[in-house]
Structure 1
Amino acid sequence: MNTTPEHDARIAKMTFASVYPHYVTKVEKKGRTKDELHEVIAWLTGFDALKLQQLIDDKVTFEAFFAEANLNPNAHLIKGVICGYRIEDIETPLTKQTRYLDKLIDELAKGRKMEKILRST
Structure 2
Amino acid sequence: MHKGSCLCGAVRITVSGNLPKPNACHCRACRKQTGHYGASVDVPRSSLSVENEDMVRWYQSSDKVRRGFCCACGSTLFWDPVHHDWTAIAMGAFDGSTGTSLSMHIFVSEKGDYYEIADGLPQNSR
TM-score between the two structures when normalised by the length of structure 2: 0.25
TM-score between the two structures when normalised by the length of structure 1: 0.25
Is the strand fraction higher in 1 or 2? Answer: 2
**Greater length-normalized contact order (CA 8 Å, ≥ 6 residues apart):** 1
Is the helix fraction higher in 1 or 2? Answer: 1
